[in-house]
Structure 1
Amino acid sequence: MARYSLTLCAHSPPAILWHPAGRRSHRWYLVNWSVLCLMPTESRTKTYKGATMQLLDFSDPGLSLRLAEQADDAFFQQLFAANHPYLEHCGLPEPMVRQLLQQQYQLQLQSYLQQTPKPDTYLLLNCTEPVGRLMLARHVEYLHLTDLAFLPSHCGRGFGSKLIQALQQYARRQQLALSLLVDQQNSGAYQFYLRHDFKSVAVTTSHYQLCWRS
């Protein structure tokens, strides 16, 4: 019989567990939105700077996410730089490039916080390797996807689709919609979400507002 280890972050609200397939299954779901990790102690999945979180039902067992910690900020800055390579090739001296990247990274965070106050930030992992970031805010009737970014080296491998599908499954169980904003200049992201059944519901001077409902 498999044994289970349970980790509950101290700052998280109590959670209710729902087991949909009987005790023989190793897959559990969270009924409410909290930070809870439940996995077989014999599992080969290792943690990276903290417990991984089985918040979403990923079709890929190697994918997981956990709440970001302060130490993860260094990776998030690397992620930002990797997705904005033009800033590193603008002809400026290296110290100025580093300063510019730091300033732009902070401006992006401020923009996200203005868009959705106090979103939860998650580190995305492929097995034990950090590969991206998810920022998500819960509202009464919907979840707002504030940001989803992967390292360029891990794009095109289906991780984004698997994450969106897992979010849609979770939202369907919770009877919630999903919303997000896409920059009008980012046609690739816009088409990606349309392929995953998001609909354009509004347009601003700079962004498309997209929504998904089950």
Structure 2
Amino acid sequence: MTDDVATARRIRLRPATEGDREFLVRLYGSVRAEELDRVAWPPGQRDAFVRMQFDLQDRQYRQHNPHGTFDVVEVEERPAGRLYVDRRATDIRIVDIALLPEYCGRGIGTHLVREVLDEAAASGRTASIHVEVHNPAATLYERLGFAAVAEVGVYRRMEWRS
């Protein structure tokens, strides 16, 4: 069995529910940990800030991507991350992809993005993602064939075309 097949068998996407909120807040906090660690937070304030920022981001994602899918990534039946995708007429937008640190570097993100690219190719659409300029994941997207097409503030819009 190839590594790709083994990885695919361990991964499952399912729609996020209200019951996933605590996991998704924890995931958001883990993604922002490096920048949040730079601040000396009074007791409880960091957690409150992470919850507030998660709520704002979640509301914004859902408002601007009303037809999007908002999935929890499970690996071996345990929540490991999230994949939010908005399938538009000519573009499949990866709104957000994030994994808990212990799941990074194991081919999971690559597998998930390749599935989106396969769907885009089969339907004749582009795939796109906005990546923070200093996000090291940009190298993954470049390796998978994405190219930077625009910079807006701290974000770089990257597109993939078949």
TM-score under structure 1 normalisation?
Answer: 0.67
Q: Quick one: higher RCO (CA 8 Å, sep 6+), 1 or 2?
A: 2
CA distance in 2, matches of 1:198, 1:58: 25
2:92–2:116 CA contact under 8 A, matched in 1: no
1:136–1:143 CA contact under 8 A, matched in 2: yes
Q: Extract unaligned runs of 5+ from structure 1.
A: 1-56
Q: How far did 1:98 drift?
A: 1.6
Which residue number in structure 2 is paired with residue 106 of structure 1? 55
1:77 counterpart (8, 11, 25): 25
- Identity fraction in percent: 27
1:202–1:208 CA contact under 8 A, matched in 2: yes
1:202 counterpart (140, 150, 159): 150
CA distance in 2, matches of 1:82, 1:131: 11
Q: Extract unaligned runs of 5+ from structure 2.
A: none
Larger radius of gyration: 1
Which residue number in structure 2 is paired with residue 90 of structure 1? 39
1:121–1:136 CA contact under 8 A, matched in 2: yes
Q: How far did 1:108 drift?
A: 2.4
- 1:30-69 to structure 2, matched below 5 A, reads 60-69=8-17
Which residue number in structure 2 is paired with residue 155 of structure 1? 104
Q: How far did 1:91 drift?
A: 2.4
Which residue number in structure 2 is paired with residue 125 of structure 1? 74
Q: How far did 1:58 drift?
A: 8.7
Aligned alpha-carbon RMSD (Å)? 2.1
Deviations 1:107-160 (A, max 9, x none): 322443465445220010112011000111111111110000000011011111
